[in-house]
A and B are shown apart, each in its own frame.
Chain A
């Protein structure tokens, strides 16, 4: 790799993003998917730079604020052979990009969606982001938060995500395992990665989290039959409500009994997976390969 390609990260010392970066780069090596077929799609904010800081020979797409999921959808649908991993911040994904988040759940495309969840807009200097609680005031906010918070786990469940989990970024191994499970899941998988912002979030600090987090062992999140969906979602919602004293980590919900988007597209286009839009030959020596006579014939004026 040329020296001009090597990029050192410019996150603040102690940033929670480092853990996610380390987790993703090491698990991608373990997964065995050829890196040239791996695409990391990111939004805007501190989290959005994660692709820029990856030195593995995978491809990265640093998109627009809130739009990472829209871009990821385009890449994955046009070429389902690519492994697509989405990284976005809580402001990015649940504020400006909330519409795409909800609608991604409806599609159940085979994507892993990693939320860098630190409660603040770090790159614009610490305004309240969607997961910051009502009435909380982190240090650079002029006044306490007058907006309520979004619960990312509950929102993902309500939107139809078929894999919903939570990790904690200073626990790199745990984060790695959760993201790996998300990538291996068939369908849209969501991992809410709790992380500190040592520069702007002086409430949800490393110490604060580490007093509260624990690994869930008391629910079985896996749907084995569609008849279990209601109960499993209800269990997950109850766990997702825990926050003040103890914060659960692990898989809240996993359901592979629902068709994913690739299956749904294949129902209309039988060779979609083997001959997707990205791979179709559209011309030979400039001559269009598509035969349109079938579409033209009905418009021909005929005396029958």
Chain B
């Protein structure tokens, strides 16, 4: 199996993302699967950002602790990452003199840690010191002459340094690419896909030539045949696409990381093509409203849903905190509304650009009072799409808020997926019980399954009353005991109806050897390193099972109880401090995880972290393992 870990880094705003896209695109064109995780500070220009990319010959969705190729033209990236290097460093030969003390954007604590490593080895606190460290550890260091390469290109194309200077990233990419042994044509094709202007294509193609010429291949990758087409996707895109395909026609939002990209994508593509015989109805617009705050965002979306439009909002923790009252109103008024909840590190502003799974219990308990809420969590990019689509169906079928949990890790990472299994055309829309408001219409009519026929505002001559106070079947305020008793029960019953109608396949994924007496329970993007670690463990003779929970409310009680019955070792793997999913399992089934592997530092869990932790658990070392890897 091929698994190469590549990292490119640089100051925020210097083109790190474009470089990573270019590199990833070239690798994908060569027939390899990629998974790229993006790490960045809450900052626009200057602070350290980087991209970790896994190259694999099989579908992959995890990152490594180790770096096979580190590519950069600036010093801070080298200081930040040299301890992870196992393979090759590509660097700008003109920065050898750069001193650790001059890294103006570096946090004091980071500087202190690096300083300690270098001084404990008796090395100078500079790039030269780092280079000695690397050489002593058998790491190959390859200086790249960025400046004279750029000058050469400048002379050839007769352009200013401002225009040509941007090709610096491409030189770094090309040098990395040259190490892989792949044909140049894939990178040239990637340059053509990304740069549309002939002038830039020319400059960057030269950068590819000169960049690749400065290295010798270290790997021996051959182009792989692709059976069927592949897509390169990120989480924000997949959520937006799932919603659009699912018939979303209005989305509201207030700017927040890492959720806004989704709304901006929808707005950019708001004129949609529709299947319709009538020429004038072949195009229609989805409205995206940027509201004054998340309180307005959620309530505007809820109100829009009363007219029959499928609506949603997307936010992150701080925004969701503000939305709770509105979600309660939607619960009380039985409004279909989807809240796409991109989790990031909290509490408060917390780690605005880093990932977390700390809001599962918050989502489950959002809002005062008791009302049915459906909470689903996606574990990979394809699930993000399917769940975004599904959430709109669930909301309308059960006429209640649906919270779709996605983490920053999934939002901002990108990967390649096979289009065949993605097969979105098999999905179906179901809108639940819909009627026109007749003169005797009762919005909250009691029914066996708890679901009342829903009429859209303006749909008929009948009065439609929505009411946040407790109300009777018409919607009139009512505090009489029997009405309260029955209305409360009616609302709650919808969750039981949903539980009956959801299949086990909808709620749970299993992987690995489910006959093993050891099983991992995980959710969201934490499943990604777990799945890739299974192979590594299997090679050591550890063959265990994995349960990924995808629906937390209604909780798949009987399925989880059955799958966990008689297991000796149950390991919760989550990106939080308190093993929230583990607690929810216990609350619902009485079964407690025996161990947990937890990470709350905001960085994605790596496959080695899982591998090593399971080994430790197997050797009886620890009940609770706290991970702290990453930069």
* Same complex: yes
Taking Cβ atoms with an 8 Å cutoff, the residues of A that contact B are 2, 4-5, 7, 36-37, 39, 41, 44, 49, 51-52, 57-64, 67, 69-75, 77-79, 81-82, 99-100, 102-103, 265, 268-272, 274-284, 286-292, 294-296, 299-304
Q: Which of B411-458 contact A (CB under 8 A)?
A: 416, 419, 424, 427-431, 437, 439-440, 456-458
The one of A7, A77, A268, A271 that contacts B304, using a Cβ cutoff of 8 Å:
A77
Given A2-B440, A81-B458, A301-B416; A73-B300 close (CB under 8 Å): yes
Which residue from chain A places its CB closest to the CB of B299 in the assembled complex? A70
CB distance A296 to B430 under 8 Å?
no
CB distance A103 to B309 under 8 Å?
no
CB neighbours of B467 from chain A (8 A): 52, 60, 62
Q: Can you list 12 A-B contacts with CB-CB less than 8 angstroms, sorted by A residue number? A: A36-B461, A60-B467, A70-B295, A71-B299, A74-B252, A75-B303, A78-B304, A265-B285, A277-B307, A277-B311, A278-B458, A301-B231
Choose the segment among B162-170, B239-247, B572-580 that binds chain A (4+ C-beta atoms closer than 8 Å): B239-247
The one of A51, A63, A276, A296 that contacts B241, using a Cβ cutoff of 8 Å:
A296
CB neighbours of B506 from chain A (8 A): none
Given A2-B440, A103-B292, A300-B419; A283-B241 close (CB under 8 Å): no
CB neighbours of A63 from chain B (8 A): 299, 303, 329, 468
CB distance B465 to A60 under 8 Å?
yes
Given A277-B249, A299-B237; A4-B186 close (CB under 8 Å): no
Complex CA gap A128/B287 in Å reads 39
CB distance B252 to A278 under 8 Å?
no
Complex CA gap A37/B280 in Å reads 24
A94 to B: closest C-beta gap in Å: 15
CB distance B281 to A281 under 8 Å?
yes
The one of B233, B301, B459 that contacts A74, using a Cβ cutoff of 8 Å:
B301
Complex CA gap A304/B185 in Å reads 10
Complex CA gap A290/B244 in Å reads 7
Which residue from chain B places its CB closest to the CB of A49 in the assembled complex? B477
Interface size on B, residues (CB 8 A): 90
Choose the segment among B64-72, B270-278, B491-499 that binds chain A (4+ C-beta atoms closer than 8 Å): B270-278
B528 at the interface (CB under 8 A from A): no
The one of A103, A279, A300 that contacts B231, using a Cβ cutoff of 8 Å:
A300
The one of A79, A265, A304 that contacts B457, using a Cβ cutoff of 8 Å:
A79
CB neighbours of A296 from chain B (8 A): 231, 241
CB distance A64 to B29 under 8 Å?
no
Which residue from chain A places its CB closest to the CB of B455 in the assembled complex? A59
B609 at the interface (CB under 8 A from A): no
CB distance A71 to B300 under 8 Å?
yes
B416, B429, B462 pick with most chain A CB within 10 angstroms: B429
- By Cβ-Cβ distance, the 6 closest A-B pairs, closest first, are A269-B285, A282-B247, A74-B303, A277-B249, A78-B304, A278-B307
A38 to B: closest C-beta gap in Å: 9
B581 at the interface (CB under 8 A from A): no
CB neighbours of B287 from chain A (8 A): 77-78, 265, 269, 272, 277
CB neighbours of A300 from chain B (8 A): 229-231, 419
A289 to B: closest C-beta gap in Å: 5
A103 to B: closest C-beta gap in Å: 4
A89 to B: closest C-beta gap in Å: 15
CB distance B296 to A103 under 8 Å?
yes
Q: Which of B298-317 contact A (CB under 8 A)?
A: 299-311
Complex CA gap A186/B185 in Å reads 59
CB distance A277 to B460 under 8 Å?
no
CB neighbours of A282 from chain B (8 A): 246-247, 249, 310, 429
CB distance A284 to B302 under 8 Å?
no
CB distance A64 to B329 under 8 Å?
yes
CB distance B233 to A299 under 8 Å?
yes
CB distance A302 to B457 under 8 Å?
no
CB distance B186 to A291 under 8 Å?
no
Complex CA gap A74/B250 in Å reads 9
Given A60-B465, A302-B29; A71-B302 close (CB under 8 Å): yes
CB neighbours of A49 from chain B (8 A): 477
Complex CA gap A200/B430 in Å reads 51
CB neighbours of A303 from chain B (8 A): 29, 185-186, 189
CB distance A4 to B466 under 8 Å?
no
The one of A62, A78, A292, A302 that contacts B309, using a Cβ cutoff of 8 Å:
A78
A4, A268, A270, A288 pick with most chain B CB within 10 angstroms: A288
Complex CA gap A300/B28 in Å reads 10
CB distance B307 to A271 under 8 Å?
no
CB distance A275 to B284 under 8 Å?
yes
CB neighbours of A37 from chain B (8 A): 458
CB neighbours of A58 from chain B (8 A): 463
